């Protein structure tokens, strides 16, 4: 069955934008169209194109989403409070997301069972009337992104404690720069980039607590896949995780890794070949994407509470601020003391003494030699004749 000209399909980027504007997850779109989430992901990335009856249902669903206005940003620049489906996605970290798919651990396959669209779609949520405070907006972002970011950092490093520390440091930095992060077009991507940079820092190898490896995963297949990923160079490891794990497109992955698009594509191909050489069953990209999402799902990786992260970041900022103030005061005091005790005029240094040559060494007690007797007699005779010597006269 050909696609009906009355319901044309928009471009892949527009499909994802319409789904996000409608506050729908891939699982909800897949349930209405009658396919799997992996199929919807492929449609939105442009890897495959729907056809037949599913194409008509998918096009009608996107057209209905495009007709409904959605308020995404308020006048003051803060994001609106998520309600309805968006609230479920924020409160439940295990829901399917665009940027943090790691908490999604279901293993559904790409089936084409035609179930038809949902005859009773959920009502559209109304936008919230009260704006979010900075604390509430930060807590919502942390609850939405932190669980998935901890799992991603664990896949990058293979260390549980380092993964939690990287995510906490990234969110603490985001809280310090919250006016900048709040108006960013992708706050989750901002925090993810900061967490990746901290997790992949080469200076961690010099820390005593990270010199010894941590216990590997319990499952053999998880342990094998993690070992293969950790043997990749850090840029290839990050590219593979962003593209096949997080689900970013090739241009977005290249921008986040600060590389060109051809270089990013070569890194991705190299990483996939390295994984396929050790695990031939993961040569299929869709299977690799699913396994990356399942890799850290069995680990006990719990992120700290948002309040603890915010207060910890504030205490850290206060500590470094006070340390900078103390160092400045010490420097000013040392400069003042130097100016107080420094001499006000130039005093030439005392010249060092010079050794007088020609003077015989001091004789030890005992009889004098012939040369010493001759020298003494000569000195006695010359003492009275010299004008520079004064001879005492008797009274």
CA distance 182 to 331: 37
**Residue 335 confidence (pLDDT):** 94
List Cα–Cα distances, 325 to 131, 184, 319, 332, in angstroms.
36, 31, 10, 11
CA distance 192 to 75: 26
CA distance 178 to 115: 45
In order along its 395 residues, the chain shows pLDDT tens digits of 444 445 678 888 888 888 888 778 888 888 888 888 888 888 888 778 888 888 888 888 888 886 654 444 343 444 443 333 333 333 333 334 343 345 433 333 333 333 344 444 444 444 545 778 888 888 889 888 888 888 898 888 988 888 888 999 999 999 988 999 988 888 989 999 999 999 999 888 888 877 777 888 878 888 888 888 999 999 999 999 999 888 888 899 999 988 999 999 999 999 999 999 988 888 888 888 888 878 777 666 777 787 888 888 788 888 889 999 999 999 999 999 998 888 888 888 888 878 777 776 776 777 878 888 888 888 777 656 555 556 666 66
CATH code of the domain in which 5 resides: 1.10.260.40
List Cα–Cα distances, 369 to 19, 214, 376, 392, in angstroms.
118, 87, 11, 29
**Residue 113 confidence (pLDDT):** 37
Residue 236 inside a domain? The answer is no
151, 111 Cβ separation under 8 angstroms: no
Write the DSSP symbol of residue 167. H
Residue 57 inside a domain? The answer is yes
Residue 177 inside a domain? The answer is no
Q: What predicted TM-score, i.e. pTM, was given to this entire model?
A: 0.53
Task: Record the tokens describing residue 291, joined without a space.
Answer: 């396994």
Residue 62 inside a domain? The answer is yes
**Residue 17 confidence (pLDDT):** 84
**Residue 298 confidence (pLDDT):** 65
Quick one: which H or E segment has residue 143?
A: helix 134-157
CA distance 95 to 89: 6
Residue 45 inside a domain? The answer is yes
Q: Is 96 helix (H, G, I), strand (E, B) or coil?
A: coil
Q: Which phi and psi angles does 2 have, rounded to 5°?
A: -85, 160
Residue 2 inside a domain? The answer is yes
The domain containing residue 13 runs over which residues?
A: 1-70
Write the DSSP symbol of residue 123. P
CA distance 378 to 384: 11
Letter string b/e over residues 151-170, b meaning 16 or more CB atoms within 10 A of that residue's CB? bbbbbbbbbbebbbbbbbbb
Residue 30 inside a domain? The answer is yes
> Which three-class secondary structure string do you get for 169-216?
HHHHHHHHCHHHHHCCCCHHHHHHHHHHHHHCCHHHHHCHHHCCCCCC
Residue 29 inside a domain? The answer is yes
**Residue 106 confidence (pLDDT):** 37
User: Measured over all CA atoms, what is the biggest interatomic distance in the chain, rounded to whole angstroms?
Assistant: 149
Number of domains the chain is built from:
1
**Residue 343 confidence (pLDDT):** 83
């Amino acid at each position: 069955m050909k696609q009906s000209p009355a319901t044309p399909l928009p471009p892949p980027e527009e499909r994802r934008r319409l789904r996000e504007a409608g506050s729908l997850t891939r699982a909800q779109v897949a349930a209405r169209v009658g396919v799997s989430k992996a199929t919807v992901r492929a449609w939105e990335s442009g890897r495959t194109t729907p056809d037949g009856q599913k194409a008509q249902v998918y096009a009608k669903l996107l057209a209905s989403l495009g007709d409904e206005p959605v308020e995404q940003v308020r006048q003051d620049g803060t994001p609106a409070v998520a309600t309805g489906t968006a609230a479920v996605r924020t409160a439940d970290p295990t829901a399917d997301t665009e940027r943090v798919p790691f908490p999604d651990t279901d293993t559904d396959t790409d089936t084409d069972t035609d179930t038809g669209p949902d005859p009773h779609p959920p009502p559209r949520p109304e936008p919230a009337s009260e704006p979010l405070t900075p604390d509430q907006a930060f807590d919502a972002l942390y609850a939405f992104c932190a669980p998935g970011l901890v799992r991603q950092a664990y896949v990058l490093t293979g260390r549980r404690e380092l993964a939690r520390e990287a995510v906490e440091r990234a969110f603490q930095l985001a809280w310090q720069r919250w006016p900048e992060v709040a108006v960013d077009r992708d706050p989750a991507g901002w925090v993810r980039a900061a967490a990746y940079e901290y997790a992949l820092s080469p200076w961690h190898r010099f820390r005593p607590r990270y010199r010894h490896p941590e216990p590997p995963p319990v499952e053999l297949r998880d342990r094998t896949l993690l070992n293969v990923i950790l043997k990749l160079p850090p840029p290839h490891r990050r590219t593979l995780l962003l593209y096949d794990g997080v689900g970013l497109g090739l241009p977005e992955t290249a921008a986040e890794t600060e590389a060109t698009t051809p270089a990013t594509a070569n890194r991705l191909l190299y990483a996939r070949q390295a994984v396929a050489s050790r695990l031939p069953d993961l040569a299929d990209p869709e299977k690799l994407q699913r396994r990356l999402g399942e890799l850290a799902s069995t680990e006990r990786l719990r992120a700290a509470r948002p309040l603890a992260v915010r207060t910890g970041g504030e205490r850290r900022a206060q500590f470094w601020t006070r340390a900078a103030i103390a160092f400045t005061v010490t420097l000013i005091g040392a400069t003042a003391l130097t100016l107080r005790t420094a001499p006000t005029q130039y005093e030439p240094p005392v010249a060092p003494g010079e050794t007088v040559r020609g003077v015989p060494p001091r004789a030890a007690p005992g009889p004098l030699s012939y040369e010493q007797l001759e020298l003494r007699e000569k000195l006695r005779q010359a003492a009275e004749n010299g004008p520079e010597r004064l001879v005492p006269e008797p009274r």
